[in-house]
Amino acid sequence: MLTIGTGNKAVALAVRDAKPVVVAAYPITPQTEIVEEIANYVTDGSMDARYIPVESEHSSMAACIGAAATGVRTFTATSSHGLVYMCEMLHMSAGARLPIVMANANRALGPGWNIGAEHSDSLSMRDTGWLQCYAGTAQEAYDATFMAFRIAEHANVLLPVMINLDGFLLTHITQPFDTIDPEGFLPPTNTPHAIDTHHPGGYGTLTTGSEHFKFRWDIERGMRNSVAVIREVEEAFAARYDRRYKMVEEYRCEDAEVVIIAMGTLGKEMEVAVDILRKEGVRAGSMRIRWFRPFPTIDLAGREVVVIDRDYSFGFGGILANELRAKCGCKPFSVIAGLGGQDVTYEDIASFVRMRTENGEHWFGVDA
């Protein structure tokens, strides 16, 4: 059914259609609309779930952990400082192999205090064991959130999934999107290690050096397995609902000599920049990284690469650019742009390509 709404509204509708049993949340800009909408669905009876309004983001993830440990479907949402406040619980939920789904509205971390879009919040959590997907449109926010439950709950994965959407640039933008008939797409949850209250027992969480590494490897095994599961779920979604996704969204890359790479809402701006550069005789293409964890395998051999990072690892560089250096062996021109909601247009992106150098770095708007 065609719907007009924000990216936040799209996420809330996807959660309603996924039918979680427990939603625990604490409000924070620019995510608040998601949990407000879900609270309304619970109140009006269109969503049969227990909504828990907790006192902090740390508590919201703790509540989801407790619920997921009993084998029920769970959801939460947060942003920025709320996400980093959850950090301890993010490690806990992944380590416990609990398939929690969370939406994160990407927002800058302070100080200085800023509520604009930036990926530093979620990327600072990249090593917690959570799968991470970055949406570019309201339609994708809806579809990715809905599919995330099937991916997270798959027996070969059993890891939490974070769906990221750019603060205000997507959370508050109004776009048309189609909702779906959800019946039959999500199988019942089946957490094999769920606590059974009808058969109580003792649980210990202490591990020794002779055992601990096996738990870490088990997370990695689930992360590796998730590549095939993501592909399987997205293909099943396309077969049923006729909307197709891949881990990397490519545009005019077949004969591209230079490829622009970014995440989130910059994807559509990159496509317009590619068309401009093509008219100038530059054989450009673009790749929007949808899944950051697990990180995709991309063949960039023989191509120049321009990477736009809406984040930075101080003393090291753009996080996405360095991931590509490590994973793909390329030497990208790294552009740091869009921090804190800084405006980045397709004309700006085209200019980044024109100024490119191998393995260089450019801070958009900074003379250095």
Report angle CA 86, 14, 232 to the nearest 5 degrees: 90
Task: Give 141-170 pLDDT, tens digit per residue.
Answer: 999 999 999 999 999 999 999 999 999 999
Structural domains in the chain, CATH included, are 2-241 (3.40.50.970), 248-363 (3.40.50.920)
Region 328-339: what's the mean pLDDT? 97
Task: Give 75-116 pLDDT, tens digit per residue.
Answer: 999 999 999 999 999 999 999 999 999 999 999 999 999 999
The answer to whether residue 39 scores a pLDDT higher than 80 is yes
CA distance 263 to 310: 8
What rounded mean pLDDT belongs to the chain? 97
Task: Give 288-314 pLDDT, tens digit per residue.
Answer: 999 999 999 999 999 999 999 999 999
DSSP 24: E
Check residue 275 and give its pLDDT: 98
Q: Is 252 helix (H, G, I), strand (E, B) or coil?
A: coil
For residues 235 and 294, the answer to whether their CB atoms sit within 8 Å is no
Task: Give 215-236 pLDDT, tens digit per residue.
Answer: 999 999 999 999 999 999 999 9
pTM exceeds cut of 0.95: yes
Check residue 205 and give its pLDDT: 81
Give the contacts of 116 (CB within 8 A, at least 6 positions apart): 107, 108, 167, 168, 340, 341, 342
The answer to whether residue 330 scores a pLDDT higher than 90 is yes
CA distance 131 to 306: 25
pLDDT-based confidence at 368, cuts 50/70/90?
low
In what order do the strands lie in the sheet containing 131-134? 50-53, 22-25, 74-78, 101-106, 161-166, 131-134, 291-293
Region 51-60: what's the mean pLDDT? 98
CA distance 57 to 363: 32
Q: If we measure between CA atoms, which residue out of 83, 75, 74, 65 comes closest to residue 29? A: 83
Task: Give 238-252 pLDDT, tens digit per residue.
Answer: 999 999 999 999 999
Task: Give 260-284 pLDDT, tens digit per residue.
Answer: 999 999 999 999 999 999 999 999 9
CB burial class (10 A; 0-12, 13-18, 19+) of residue 272?
middle
Give the contacts of 187 (CB within 8 A, at least 6 positions apart): 150, 153
The answer to whether residue 204 scores a pLDDT higher than 90 is no
Region 38-46: what's the mean pLDDT? 98
User: Could you tell me how far CA 243 lies from the centroid of its own chain?
Assistant: 18
